[in-house]
Structure 1
Amino acid sequence: MFTRLTLPVVFVALAYGLWTSSTFTDIASGVAVFLFGMLCMEAGFKAFSGGALEGVLRRSTDRVWKSLGFGIVTTTLMQSSSLVSVITISFLSAGLIDLAQGIGVIFGANLGTTTGAWLVAGFGLKVKISAYAMPMLIFGVLMLLREARSSKGAGWILVGLGFLFLGIHFMKEGFAGFSDTLDLTRYAMTGVAGLLVFSLFGVIATVVMQSSHATLVLIITALGAGQITYENALALAVGANVGTTITAIIGSLGAPVEGKRLAAAHLAFNLGTGLIALVFMGAFVRAVDVISREVGIPADDHTLKLAVFHTLFNLVGVALFTPFIDRMAAALEHFLKGKALTRDTPHFLSATALEFPEVALTALRRETLHLFDNAFTIIAHGMCLRRSDVVSERDLRALLEARAEVIELDVDRQYELVIKDIYSANIAFFTRATAKPMSEALALRFKHVLQANLDLIAAIKATKHLRKNLVHFVASPNPHIRREYNRLRINVGEMLRDLAALRSEDVEAVTKLSLDALKVHLADARRYGHRAVAALIRDDLITPQMATSLMNDSAYAHELMSHLLGMAEALVEALDAPERIPADLSLSAEEVAAVLDRTDDANGSVPRPEQTGS
């Protein structure tokens, strides 16, 4: 309701101002051009998000102090705290950073925004900035005409900078024109009332323009033109700092719980910092005077002193709040919980992750591992194995002779509860992510993750088919058929155990060589199964009906394990680790067969079933 009412009111007010005042038109045009420049810069930086930006963030946010530094540097470069916030929320949603690290980035971004004030106050108002804007626009447009994505990205950044400078020029000219017709300083207010009223104006202006950076530039240009007093400008700057959190809160309403937590942390920090600045305004003003005198800023250069004030109170806020980041994160996770769910749903997918291809790939890969965790339980229970036994160090071959405990399982019901929603979301997410421009290499990595999902679903279906006879024969009085079905259970259980071990390792360390042992295990199980069935039939130890079921179910077991191995291989292929082993160094099918032949030669032929108890 708030946003639906705000837009018409803003439109009416703007239309009236444009109709009645040419100087207002200059100022409004300057704001519009400045905001458009910010959008162009965001588009430019997103063009470089095919891996480099995300890789830097991943390496630069593993400690809180690194998160602060990342927020400062990236916001300084991009001049857009909103873009940094989007990246941070997407990494939170994808599970790549935790809430404390995300809060650190937001704190740093607040400090990074202060560099914009220095740029405008120290450079934008001192020179004819439009002279720099035009060459940037010319070269930027030329680069936009090139096909290469990196060239287009650099072009958008140059065009964005050009429009930023042009917007500042228009605002400066507009406020200079106001001085001839209207003196806004007549509306100046002093004391506590002035602080509160102009802080509120700062909040409203930032909510309307959806950019604290634009509000701050407007304040500085108005101050430079003498249209507002220094004291009121300080209050407006505090309000702009608080107002940017309102924008973040509105934007987080449809975001996952991680986004809401980060927006709440942003609000707490900026509101707390703003209150400190207002309560201790006198002390801050005296500190600004001292600092300005020490660094050589003239006493009457209020625009630069405003930049000093903006930096100082944000720096104080960071210093006061940083020691409490972990406690803040814990409190937010305690009070802002996700919805209580009766069905399992995606944990890592979000609309913000789609903004950046590498983040989207990582989110999809993590969600696929989440899907595997759920499928693991279904497959284990489908084979009448306890998950706790599979992941333990228990010798599964001790189950070979025993009559198995039949674990009740409705595969279709479990698929509906813990698989379907996640799998469907993964497919939809893959479709949306790959619709965006990306390199062929990155697109291939997406396809590998998709294949991993398909393999997991196929493995569950094979489990369902295999279970029909398995629950009958694992309790059969015939020890030979019972042993062979138990052998199928053990083979599947051991593969699940090996995959769980790989799952728990550092994902970057898993290579194709890690999976070669599973290839040998799979081929060995298939080779033994064929020989065992032939021996049982030849010696009349099982009925022909039993033999038919065993052959069919051995094929299902092989299919099940093949799809599990295929899932693992696909996820390894989706990695972009520089240390990944080349494909031609892993075992081929022929090499696997050769390994088994040498094993057979060393151990002798496979013993007949009645000659062994294993």
Structure 2
Amino acid sequence: MDIFSLFTLCGGLAFFLYGMTTMSKSLEKMAGGKLERLLKRMTSNPFKSLLLGAGITIAIQSSSAMTVMLVGLVNSGVMELGQTIGVIMGSNIGTTLTAWILSLAGIESESVFVNLLKPENFSPVIALVGIILIMGSKKQKRRDIGRILVGFSILMYGMELMKDSVSPLADMPEFSSLLTAFNNPLLGVLVGAVFTGVIQSSAASVGILQALAMTGSITYGMAVPIIMGQNIGTCVTALISSIGVNRNAKRVSVIHISFNVIGTVVGLILFYGGNLLFHFPFMNAAVGAVGIAFCHTVFNVFTTLLLLPFSRQLEKLARRAISDETRSEQFAFLDPLLLRTPGVAISECVSMTNQMGAVAHENLLDAVRQLSDYQEAREALITENEDKLDIYEDRLGDYLVKISQHGVSMSDIRTVSRLLHAIGDFERIGDHALNLQESARELHEKDLHFSDAAKEELEVLLTALNDIMALAFDSFAANDPMAAREVEPLEETIDQLIDEIKVRHIHRLQTGECTIQLGFVLNDLLTNFERVSDHCSNIAVCVIESQADDLDPHAYISRLKTDQSFAAGLDRDMAKYRLPQA
């Protein structure tokens, strides 16, 4: 073995890591919000969590990404700490699939069909199919599939390079003497942990161990402690991801580390204790790629079965290791760690935007209640919620801009655009709620009262306003363009009602039934009501726009108002929200 073999080994590792990253990122991108929705279905049932953790890790081919995702979701308040334990255990099992795929490289047979199972034989075909999909398809989903196939092929090519570069080691006595040091299990654990921690991929370190095993120089006695150490080393990613997060999110990393360390300690005691008693005949036997995949799987399954019944104890251990915070945040928010899985981050942004909409809706309803039933406590709540809406807009806006820089699909880009437009409207509705609160306080402090006729007219208008808000907010939350199309006729109805109320108010001023002072307050109320209905219209157009390509909002509204369905909807709403006879 010469310096060029070392270069080849480094290049093979680079290809391997790049292929794995490409494949993993494309799988995450395809899965999108499905991962987050699956995780939200977690219950207290640890077996369901275990299966989902294994399934998602198999789907995205990265236990590290899975753990980072969990840290982000816990930090954002989306998941409870106890829900993550089964998922972490399942992800350790799911990550063993990579080792089994890599073990196919060691298949030896003269049969054509058996040789077709070897990745080095079928991966070039997969690479060709992937390139065709990337270059020849206009659909984003197919291009993502192509990147997955190309990523897998690069990964397997890197594996072949590593295998070829280390093959001369089998004939080197210096290498054989070096390997005798690995007969010390503690050293094996340390090497496995440190190397995996450096490259931050247990799958890659297992792949390198499999490549070395193909030289015939690695025994089971050497491989087992290294495999155990590799599981500890993969915790480094979770440890790094826990920097700067809240204490509950840090506990996810503690659980991950505790799970692997306890499993390694117990595994070493049982394995070497059993060897002392029964003298395992395979200890000095050469291990192949399949044997390493088998040991990797057995160890992870054993650790899971051992510690699954003690999930609550692991949670208590994490809580003791990381004590409770002296104060809690006002409300949980999105974590930057979720940006590593943009599909999950976007799904959480949708959920957070819906929460923002609910706060804006409730705040406006509270402000309207102040007009007839003024309460100091409610005023404080309206002000507090307005501050919260400002925080939502600032943080969500910044977060959505960052997501758009992470190579998301066209569908996700449309979702991001819809959310960016909507959060501005939600925040403005909150501003109008604050304006209504100020008008209500003026009425209360000056003991002003509208005439009975004005009260009846406002009651009709407020019913229409409440209905348009419910329709706009519900269509946004459900992303329902059909329901959103019902908003514009009602918005036009509210505009006509406001115009009619203004005309009637002028008549009452002329006859002395109303005062100038009340007229100023009424005008402020009507202006704010009109602006709120306009924002509801904008929200509805956002929903419709997200379902259509290249929709011009202004052209759409102009075109809509000449449509027969709009006219029918307007007639229906005008009949429903009829002002009382003057």
TM-score tier, shorter chain, comes to: 0.7 to 0.9
Cα distance change, pair 264–589 in 1 and its aligned pair in 2 (3 A): farther
2:193–2:233 Cα contact (<8 Å) kept: yes
1:359-407 deviation per Cα after TM superposition (whole angstroms, max 9, x unaligned):
333222222233345545754665573xxxxxxxxxxxxx85x7x4456
Amino acid at match of 1:105: V
Aligned to 1:309: 295
Structure 1 Cα separation of the partners of residues 32 and 333 of structure 2: 19
Aligned to 1:541: 513
Aligned to 1:394: none
Aligned to 1:349: 334
Structure 1 Cα separation of the partners of residues 153 and 509 of structure 2: 82
Amino acid at match of 2:236: I
1:367 to 328, 344, 352: 352
Aligned to 1:262: 252
Deviation of the 1:245 alpha carbon: 0.5
2:444 to 453, 474, 482: 474
Amino acid at match of 1:364: C
Deviation of the 1:241 alpha carbon: 0.7
Aligned to 2:168: 177
Cα distance change, pair 55–249 in 1 and its aligned pair in 2 (3 A): closer
Aligned to 1:391: none
Structure 2 Cα separation of the partners of residues 515 and 287 of structure 1: 76
Aligned to 1:226: 216
1:274 and 2:264 are equivalent in the alignment: yes
1:69 and 2:51 are equivalent in the alignment: yes
1:166 to 129, 138, 157: 157
The TM-score normalised by the length of structure 1 is: 0.73
1:246 and 2:236 are equivalent in the alignment: yes
The DSSP-based 3-state class of the residue aligned with 1:349 is coil
Cα distance change, pair 92–565 in 1 and its aligned pair in 2 (3 A): farther
1:114 and 2:88 are equivalent in the alignment: no
Structure 1 Cα separation of the partners of residues 60 and 406 of structure 2: 22
2:16–2:157 Cα contact (<8 Å) kept: yes
* Contiguous gaps of at least 5 residues in structure 1: 1-17, 386-398, 577-582, 609-614
Aligned to 2:553: none
1:419 and 2:389 are equivalent in the alignment: yes
Matches within 5 A, 1:44-443: 44-50=26-32, 54=35, 57=38, 64-76=46-58, 78-89=60-71, 98-121=80-103, 123-124=105-106, 126=108, 130-146=120-136, 148=138, 149-187=140-178, 194-254=184-244, 259-282=249-272, 303-325=289-311, 328=314, 335=322, 340=327, 344=330, 347-375=332-360, 379=364, 382=367, 385=370, 400=372, 404-405=374-375, 414=384, 417-437=387-407, 441-443=411-413
Deviation of the 1:69 alpha carbon: 2.6
Aligned to 1:393: none
Deviation of the 1:249 alpha carbon: 0.9
1:35-77 deviation per Cα after TM superposition (whole angstroms, max 9, x unaligned):
22212322432452456x5487468756643443333344445
Cα distance change, pair 276–504 in 1 and its aligned pair in 2 (3 A): farther
Aligned to 1:3: none
Cα distance change, pair 593–261 in 1 and its aligned pair in 2 (3 A): same
Aligned to 1:6: none
Deviation of the 1:313 alpha carbon: 2.1
Cα distance change, pair 553–43 in 1 and its aligned pair in 2 (3 A): closer
1:173-215 deviation per Cα after TM superposition (whole angstroms, max 9, x unaligned):
3333112223434345699x81212101111111122211121
Cα distance change, pair 75–438 in 1 and its aligned pair in 2 (3 A): closer
1:480–1:541 Cα contact (<8 Å) kept: no
Query: Aligned-residue CA RMSD in angstroms?
Result: 4.9
Aligned to 2:18: 36
1:125–1:221 Cα contact (<8 Å) kept: no
Amino acid at match of 1:253: I
Deviation of the 1:330 alpha carbon: 7.4
Structure 2 Cα separation of the partners of residues 159 and 406 of structure 1: 63
Matches within 5 A, 1:468-507: 468-480=438-450, 484=454
Deviates further, 516-525 or 111-120:
516-525
2:130–2:147 Cα contact (<8 Å) kept: yes
Structure 2 Cα separation of the partners of residues 287 and 485 of structure 1: 91
2:428 to 448, 455, 458: 458
Cα distance change, pair 58–159 in 1 and its aligned pair in 2 (3 A): same
1:382–1:467 Cα contact (<8 Å) kept: yes
1:594 to 562, 571, 577: 571
Aligned to 2:580: 606
1:507-536 deviation per Cα after TM superposition (whole angstroms, max 9, x unaligned):
559886599699869839747744762563
Aligned to 1:552: 524
Structure 2 Cα separation of the partners of residues 478 and 80 of structure 1: 66
Structure 2 Cα separation of the partners of residues 65 and 217 of structure 1: 29
Structure 1 Cα separation of the partners of residues 318 and 358 of structure 2: 27
Amino acid at match of 1:353: L
* Contiguous gaps of at least 5 residues in structure 2: 109-114, 549-556
Structure 2 Cα separation of the partners of residues 598 and 588 of structure 1: 15
1:100-147 deviation per Cα after TM superposition (whole angstroms, max 9, x unaligned):
444333322211222333333454364775444444444444444335
Deviates further, 104-113 or 175-184:
175-184
The TM-score normalised by the length of structure 2 is: 0.76
Deviation of the 1:235 alpha carbon: 0.6
